[in-house]
Amino acid sequence: MSNFWPGDAGMPSEEPVGEDATDEVTEFQEPEMGHAASVADWGAKPILDVRDLKMYFPVKSSGVIRRTIGHVQAVDGVSFQVPAGGSLGLVGESGCGKSTTGRLVTRLYEPTGGSIEFDGRDITTISARSLKPLRREIQMIFQDPYTSLNPRHSVGSIIGAPLAIHQVVPKDKILPRVQELLEIVGLNPEHYNRYPHEFSGGQRQRIGIARALTLQPKLLVADEPVSALDVSIQAQVINLLQDLQREFGIAFLFIAHDLAVVRHFCPEVAVMYLGKIVEIADRETLYNRPNHPYTQALLSAVPNVKQAAIGGRRERIQLEGDVPSPINPPSGCRFRTRCSLAQEICARVEPPLLQIGKRHKVACHFAGELGHHPDRPITASLLGVDDTGTPDPGASPATDLGNEPGYSDTWFDLERKTMAKA
Amino acid sequence: MTTPFLSVRDLKVHFPTPDGIVKATDGLSFTLEKGKTIGIVGESGSGKSVSSSAILGLHRHTNAIVSGEILLDGVDLLKISDEDMRRKRGADVAMIFQDPLSAMHPYYTVGSQIAEAYRVHHDVSRKKAKARAVEMLDRVGIPQPDHRVDDYPHQFSGGMRQRAMIAMALINNPSLLIADEPTTALDVTVQAQILDLLQDLQRDFDAAVIMITHDLGVIAEMADDVLVMYAGRAVEYGAGKEILTHPEMPYTWGLLSSVPDVAGDTSAKLIPIPGNPPSLLTPPPGCAFNPRCTHKDKVPGDLCTTVLPDLVPGVRSETHLKRCHLANPDAIYEQEILPEILPELVEER
């Protein structure tokens, strides 16, 4: 982009505001009122390609000699792709490893295993020196707008810091660009010399977004970008992110626990449980025809106001107990301790993330739509085991059950129990 | 008509500050029967938590100015002595807080904290109180309660801590339970467990419940009545189903259209409420919502910016109250709002 992002193209218009923060209610005005859910471009090339990513945090013993006594398997073999200019949603409950995945992608952590490829470059283990230019291209939006902005820095210096650090523009050009960015995110450009405490939560989140946009990133990792905001403000920020994505073609790795927000923002969604992806699919498939019992339970647990308003409540699938410890996760399938479908095979063999549709992968021996789960494990013949999970000497296990990111042209058809093609 | 179990009338909680009086709650009235749930919805700073702490008498000996009437079973909680209030608090009226980790003392075991709540109101031995705590932990679904009773709060998961909080709140069989954002800090599957538990317990104990939340979905599942608060005042109040299906106040429309949905048509639009909530120090003149309201041009003259509307019956029923100048909110909702937020419903018709 030769000309630094034009701030006037389709961006919210500004009105001058008074000194008192309470007058600022008229500040943000949408040119059009609402936005429908984001639409996917399925032909887009992946900008981020994550393969079998692992992050184990050591657990140390107490005492003088702090031996490593175990590992928290925060992320354990996760593969996915984010298309250029598109978005992938990562959902799951606390402790499932979704935030760790986000931090690995931004290389705030060095992964224990696997690979991260960004725009054709392997960035898994590159040095701190070569990371610096990478930071221009991958930026992060944080959850809490109260703790992620330095209270002693003015908004101008917060947003201008990346410009100064990366020396993208001469010093005297920093301020005009900061003002341009403030305008892009719907804040008054005259407010560059104010401090974070003078802004409301939603406005602070806009400042955080402006900071992330400063270096024109190609990928934004948004870790719970709206969960700290009031509902009416949440919608403003989601719409702003949609505008920015459309305008500047930024790809998003969108991490959130709110299934409804993710559904609105991401055409493709991955569900994580205890460090693994249990189901990944395009939005329509995942939300309308989930095949993993965890996804089904998760979706049924969301209280749904609009549906409740027109026709009473749906049956909830109750999950018993809590998520097990990631230090010592259950053998086989990690969800089996809370799963109503679990059988012997689930404790013995880990289910592979099997592609069962054009854009649909699921990791379950008994994958099927709600109420139509098969009686016998679908994966037994592929894995070369019998129905209880004991290795079957006569069987020939499929060799290509690798943990590959993206989707292939052929998949396992659940109905016919054979491989199918598009 | 019999007198309601809980009747709050014209409750005001004002905080004098050097900059002026903050009217956190400004004339709130509602009633609640035993075994029923009222859901209070609103954004941060709308006064929902301040009102409920007034019911518990938590503003006594602070600089807050509380006026109005809170009649619980015929007794005005604002007039009784501190000693009487102390006897009621925790026994007749109990509260569940949002964040169970900060609401529990980290140095004491979960069991001793629950037992303490019992011993304050009952003259029993420690042993008996502990047995009662184990019984309550079992009742709220903690596995191996006789073993877990000696654990510290940090040894419990978030969901278990919230269960323990509920056990503590219910140990004295309170007739009124105030749940202030009881599931906001929890994951959805745990939230579903806790909501089901609360409903079960409410049935068993026949308690009246005030459910404070910002999540309309939780309200839709739990509440018999709904009260929507904005800037310290009720803006819409009535039966839950009525309010969620036929809201008549633009703020409630805004809340409904600014939350995305897990089901339904993906062409449904997400329409934010523009602007920010007002300052309670200098609320806007007239209707407090007018600076953010996109329908005020439908009201003749400058009524919205000059005259505060009364909380009056809406167009559909006598018991559905709303605070808005709009003459035909029902038609506007049907024609302008519904097609945007629930397109599939409109197509069906």
Residue A122 lies inside a defined structural domain of this protein: yes
Choose, out of A306, A307, A340, the residue to mutate when testing the contact with B (most B CBs < 10 Å).
A306
Q: Determine, for residues B278 and A303 on separate chains, whether the beta-carbon distance falls below 8 Å.
A: no
Residues whose CB is less than 8 angstroms from the CB of residue A358 and which lie 6 or more positions away in sequence, other chains included: A407, A411, A422
Q: Kindly state whether residues A239 and A302 are assigned to the same domain.
A: no
Question: What local confidence, expressed as pLDDT, does residue A230 receive?
Answer: 84
Mean of pLDDT over chain B: 90
Q: Kindly state whether residues A237 and A338 are assigned to the same domain.
A: no
Q: Determine, for residues B261 and A260 on separate chains, whether the beta-carbon distance falls below 8 Å.
A: yes
Q: Tell me: the pLDDT tens digits for B301-338?
A: 889 999 999 999 988 888 999 999 998 898 999 888 88
Q: Tell me: the pLDDT tens digits for A295-326?
A: 999 998 888 777 666 655 567 788 877 788 88
Residues in chain B within 8 Å Cβ distance of A35: 269-270
Q: Kindly state whether residues A400 and A333 are assigned to the same domain.
A: yes
Q: Determine, for residues A235 and B273 on separate chains, whether the beta-carbon distance falls below 8 Å.
A: yes
Shortest CB distance from A308 goes to which of B159, B189, B220? B220
Cα–Cα nearest to A228, from A345, A141, A123: A141
The mean per-residue pLDDT over the stretch B47-73 comes to: 91
Stretch among A397-411, B175-189, B242-256 having the lowest mean pLDDT: A397-411
Using DSSP's 3-state secondary structure scheme, residue B225 falls into strand
The mean per-residue pLDDT over the stretch A380-386 comes to: 85
CB of A399 within 8 Å of a chain B CB? The answer is no
Residue B301 lies inside a defined structural domain of this protein: yes
Side-chain half-sphere of A366: how many Cα atoms within 13 Å?
24
Reported ipTM: the value is: 0.84
Shortest CB distance from A231 goes to which of B188, B259, B282? B259
Distance from the B116 Cα atom to the nearest Cα atom in chain A, whole angstroms: 27
Q: Determine, for residues A306 and B264 on separate chains, whether the beta-carbon distance falls below 8 Å.
A: yes
Residue A75 lies inside a defined structural domain of this protein: yes
Q: Kindly state whether residues A250 and A342 are assigned to the same domain.
A: no
Residues in chain B within 8 Å Cβ distance of A232: 43, 254-255, 258, 272-273, 277
Q: Determine, for residues A232 and B43 on separate chains, whether the beta-carbon distance falls below 8 Å.
A: yes
Asked if the model's pLDDT at residue B200 lies above 70, the reply is yes
Beta strand pairing status for B37-41 and A418-421?
Answer: unpaired
Rounded to an integer, what distance in angstroms lies between the CA atom of residue B71 and that of residue B73? 6
Going by pLDDT thresholds of 50, 70 and 90, the confidence category of residue A182 is very high
Question: What local confidence, expressed as pLDDT, does residue A390 receive?
Answer: 86
Residue B261 lies inside a defined structural domain of this protein: yes
**pTM, full prediction:** 0.86
Shortest CB distance from B192 goes to which of A24, A301, A321? A301
Dihedral angle computed from the Cα positions of residues A90, B191, A56 and A141, in that order, rounded to the nearest 10 degrees: 40
What is the percent of chain B where pLDDT is above 90?
A: 56
Question: Last residue of some domain: B173, B208, B224?
Answer: B173
Give A274-334 as a DSSP string.
TTEEEEEEEHHHHHHS--SHHHHHHHHHS--HHHHHHH-PPPPPPPPS-PPPSSSPPSSST
Q: What is the residue range of A154's domain? A: 45-60+70-266
Shortest CB distance from A230 goes to which of B44, B190, B279? B44
Interface of A with B in 225-244 (CB under 8 A): 230-236, 238-239
Q: Kindly state whether residues A277 and A417 are assigned to the same domain.
A: yes
Q: Kindly state whether residues A260 and A209 are assigned to the same domain.
A: yes
Question: Last residue of some domain: A241, A266, A291?
Answer: A266
Rounded to an integer, what distance in angstroms lies between the CA atom of residue A15 and that of residue A24? 9
Question: What local confidence, expressed as pLDDT, does residue A400 receive?
Answer: 65
Distance from the A124 Cα atom to the nearest Cα atom in chain B, whole angstroms: 31
Q: What angle do CA B183, B187, B188 make, to 5 degrees?
A: 85
Rounded to an integer, what distance in angstroms lies between the CA atom of residue B153 and that of residue B161? 7
Shortest CB distance from A22 goes to which of B159, B279, B342? B279
Interface of A with B in 76-105 (CB under 8 A): 93-94
Residue A29 lies inside a defined structural domain of this protein: no
Question: What local confidence, expressed as pLDDT, does residue A15 receive?
Answer: 38
Q: What is the residue range of B314's domain? A: 249-348
Interface of A with B in 155-184 (CB under 8 A): none
Q: Determine, for residues A316 and B281 on separate chains, whether the beta-carbon distance falls below 8 Å.
A: no
Q: Determine, for residues B160 and A322 on separate chains, whether the beta-carbon distance falls below 8 Å.
A: yes
Q: What's the one-letter identity of residue A294?
A: Y
Asked if the model's pLDDT at residue B210 lies above 80, the reply is yes
Question: What local confidence, expressed as pLDDT, does residue A420 receive?
Answer: 78
Q: Kindly state whether residues A353 and A413 are assigned to the same domain.
A: yes
Q: Tell me: the pLDDT tens digits for B100-152?
A: 778 899 999 999 999 999 999 999 999 999 999 999 999 888 888 999 999 99
The mean per-residue pLDDT over the stretch A125-144 comes to: 89
Q: Tell me: the pLDDT tens digits for B215-236?
A: 888 888 889 999 999 999 999 9
Contact of A96 with A75, CB cutoff 8 Å? no
Question: What local confidence, expressed as pLDDT, does residue B236 receive?
Answer: 95
Please name the residue that has the structure tokens 């894995």: A383
Domain count, chain B: 2
Asked if the model's pLDDT at residue A14 lies above 50, the reply is no
Asked if the model's pLDDT at residue A26 lies above 50, the reply is no
Cα–Cα nearest to B167, from B147, B189, B192, B145: B145
Q: Where are the alpha helices (DSSP H) in B31-124?
A: 48-55, 82-88, 100-103, 110-121
Residues in chain B within 8 Å Cβ distance of A321: 143
The mean per-residue pLDDT over the stretch A26-47 comes to: 71
Which residue of chain A has the CA closest to B269?
Answer: A36
Asked if the model's pLDDT at residue A28 lies above 80, the reply is no
Residues in chain A within 8 Å Cβ distance of B215: 231, 303
Tell which wins on pLDDT, A352 or B45: A352
Beta strand pairing status for B225-230 and B37-41?
Answer: parallel
Using DSSP's 3-state secondary structure scheme, residue B95 falls into strand
Residue A32 lies inside a defined structural domain of this protein: no
Residue B9 lies inside a defined structural domain of this protein: no
